[in-house]
Structure 1
Amino acid sequence: MGLIEKASGGVDDPFGALGEPLPEEKPAAAAPQFDLDFASLAAQGFYNPGDRSSRLSLELRAIKRGLLRRLGLRNASGEKRMIRKGGRQRNLVMVTSTRPGEGKTFCSINLALSLACEEEMEVLLVDADTPRPKVRAHFDLPASKGLTDRLLDPTLSAAALSLKARQAPLSVLPEGSPVPRAADLFGSAEAQRLFNELSLRRAGRLVIIDAPPVLATTEAVMLARHVDEVIFVVEADATPEAGVSAALDELLDANPSVSLLLNRCLIGPGGAYYGSYGDYGRSQDDTSTGGAGSAPSEQ
């Protein structure tokens, strides 16, 4: 049986589980801010809002189009849909991979930057890869309290722990303090409450969660149970099919809405990179194609 045939089913409620609406929580006045160093980010291979005709920008648009349509934030023609009043939006997205080094953090950051800078969407980027966090380093952010601290101490505010970019509607919730068993935290009732809160608190905000690789720890599967969409990054011509199949089996058991992003796929005489963004958890009629660009070698 092929990989695509393994995936079946879908999401019955296009808006996800409902919840009681929460009053919008404004970021704390003392919450730290940071500057987006676009020159440094571009040098690392990330999205540059000053070069919107680049191959990476074009590929990210295709990825965003498919993602926002599946989340119910765009219609089939790409037009914005009204934000649902009351109840939980479909706005929690997790990015993972089979193993380290396939470019998942590269894809998480690029997607967050492109949505915030080009679509002007409010985005919260959460670094949940507690064993090997990378997000802070790419943005040159200092170590600080973050996700794990909030889960251990519910009196802490996720908004106060987040760092807000000055140039775009982008915030980063760092990984937080090292913990010995993050999987237990991510599988807890407090984690469910936190992710529901992140979804409900600010209407129109998209939450992108950079998770550990599936086969490296059990944390990605625990996190997948809390989100609306899973983006599964696969390095073309590098990841063994058996590994992809095993990781997909685990993800689909936790969440039926999984999309594949094929990264670093070399085509054409000029050596251009592209990616394919295909939907595993639903009918292949709803599949869109796009790209991921050439990810640097990272987790």
Structure 2
Amino acid sequence: MSHIFDALQRSEFEQSGSDIPAPAVATELLQAAERKAAVERGTVVEREMFPERQAEAEPPSVAEQPRDAAVDQFSQFQSLRVLVPPQGKLVALTEQESLAAEKFRFLGVRLRQVRQSRPLKKVLITSTIPQEGKSMVAANLACTLARRTQQKTLLMDGDLRRPSLAQLFGVGMVPGITEWLQGESGPVSSIYRLEDPGLWILPAGNCHRNPLELMQSGKLPALMDQLSTWFDWIIMDSPPVLPLGDTSIWMRLADGILLVTRQGSTEKQQLQRGLEAIEKSKLIGALLNSAVAANHSDYYQRYAAPSASAQDVPIKSN
């Protein structure tokens, strides 16, 4: 670590034109900084005065563990077999050479470009009203990121009222976020490995009579902190923005937000209200679903039906 500190300090002094301090001085500065941070955490005093407490101390939470400590967690996740119809909505899996799948790959590229200029790991996919295809977009995007980047990708179903991601992948009803919030299961037992797409899924679980009250329990921030140490991408499918207040909770936990609209379904006033409900600094762009391009009209007719809605997905960035 001291080598990294020395290199960073050398770069700073070279840019400023100042003399570069000796490595010993840099090392002393680093050690002093480390001692100060340790004292602030109370660890130095505790180690020196009460060494016997170290063996009795509780292990750090997952959020406090280094990334290497999360490796063992992945071996504990249960694997589920994916059962996707050949002509279903997951074109990123079943029709990888299609133009629709290419649109999702393009979306993945755009997100990686955005991440070069700002922190972006937790991406929320929402819509203005129901039936605009947000869950389909979230699922295909997660599959695309998992396949193309070879990075650990988690797909979360945050729509606790009308969950659909487990059904999209054909994994059935399994415990998920609801059970975790109720204290019936831990994060490890609520996350599942989907082998074929190479990603992990945290389903919504069984429906709760009052999802908003459950989400306001204060446990979600801790969960997201844990998940952020395990995964490179977290794609969150949430309820629509307008009818419910659930989405406002997810929006506070997200790094960036994508708003899905459907051509011929979303009215201009609804879209405007949806955009106004989203924090501008977090809005990455808007996706137009079911768009029909003149030069691809025959191709897009196939995806115009609700059962295979994966159309042109243009991005309108800030």
- TM-score bracket for the superposition, by shorter chain length: 0.7 to 0.9
2:89/2:168 contact within 8 Å kept: no
Q: Which has the higher contact order (CA 8 A, sep 6+)?
A: 1
Give the residue type in structure 1 aligned to 2:232: R
Match for residue 176 of structure 1? 205
Match among 230, 234, 237 for residue 257 of structure 2: 230
CA distance in 2, matches of 1:20, 1:91: 18
The answer as to 2:115 corresponding to 1:71 is yes
- Deviation at residue 48 of structure 1 after TM alignment: 4.3
Matching residue of 1:218: 245
Cα separation, 2, equivalents of 1:139 and 1:53:
20
**Secondary structure of 2:91's partner?**
coil
Equivalence for 2:232 = 205
Question: Is 1:36–2:62 an aligned residue pair?
Answer: no
Does residue 58 in structure 1 map to residue 85 in structure 2?
A: no
The CA deviation at 1:127 is 0.8
| In 2: Cα distance, 1:55 partner to 1:226 partner | 32
Residue 269 of structure 2: aligned partner: 242
Structure 2 unaligned residues grouped into runs of 5+: 1-62, 301-310
1:182/1:258 CA distance change after superposition, 3 Å? farther
Displacement of 1:57 in angstroms is: 2.2
Contact residue 233 and residue 260 of structure 1 kept, 8 A:
yes
- Conserved 8 A contact 1:185-1:191: no
How far the C-alpha of 1:181 sits from its partner, in A, is: 2.6
The worse-fitting range, judged by mean Cα deviation, of 24-33 and 213-222 is: 24-33
CA contact (8 A) 1:49 1:118 kept: no
Distance 2:124 2:159 in 1: 11
1:146 matched to 2:176? The reply is yes
Fraction of identical pairs, as percent? 21
1:129-144 correspondence runs (5 A): 129-144=159-174
CA distance in structure 2 between the partners assigned to 1:249 and 1:117 by the alignment:
34
Please tell me whether the aligned partners of residues 96 and 211 of structure 1 are also in contact (alpha carbons under 8 angstroms). yes
Q: 3-state SS of the aligned residue for 1:60?
A: helix
Q: Tell me, what secondary structure is at the counterpart of 2:149?
A: coil
Q: Which amino acid aligns with 2:102?
A: L
Which residue is 1:86 aligned to?
none
What code does the residue aligned with 2:195 have? Answer: R
Corresponding residue of 1:164: 193
- Scaled by the length of structure 2, what TM-score is found? 0.69
Instruction: Show the counterpart of 2:153.
Output: 123
Structure 1 residues 136, 52: CA separation in 2 closer, same or farther (over 3 Å shift)? Answer: closer
2:315 maps to what in 1? 277
Secondary structure of the corresponding residue to residue 230 of structure 1: strand
Q: Deviations over 1:216-242 (max 9, x none)?
A: 211111110001011110112320111
The answer to whether the 8 Å contact 2:82/2:171 transfers is no
Cα deviation for residue 61 of structure 1 reads 1.7
1:297 equivalent in structure 2: none
TM-score, scaled relative to structure 1: 0.73
Structure richer in helix, relative to its length: 2
How many residue pairs get matched? 242
Q: How far does the alpha carbon of each residue in 1:234-257 deviate from its partner, in whole angstroms, 9 at most, with x for none?
A: 11232011111111111227x633
The Cα of 1:161 is off from its aligned counterpart by: 1.1
Secondary structure of 2:123's partner? strand
Q: SS of the residue aligned with 2:292?
A: strand
Distance 2:216 2:71 in 1: 25
- Partner residue in 2 for 1:267: 293
Structure 1 residue 256 corresponds to structure 2 residue 282: yes
What do the CA deviations read for 1:38-71 (whole angstroms, capped 9, x no partner)?
5x2x411322457543201221121111112222
SS state at 1:265 partner: coil
Runs of 5+ consecutive residues of structure 1 not aligned to the other structure: 1-18, 76-88, 283-299
Coordinate RMSD, CA, aligned: 2.5
- Give CA deviations for 1:196-215 in whole Å, capped at 9, x if unaligned: 21112x2x521111101111
Larger Cα-atom Rg: 2
Q: 1:190 to 1:140 in 2, by over 3 A?
A: same
State the distance in 1 between where 2:147 and 2:121 align: 18
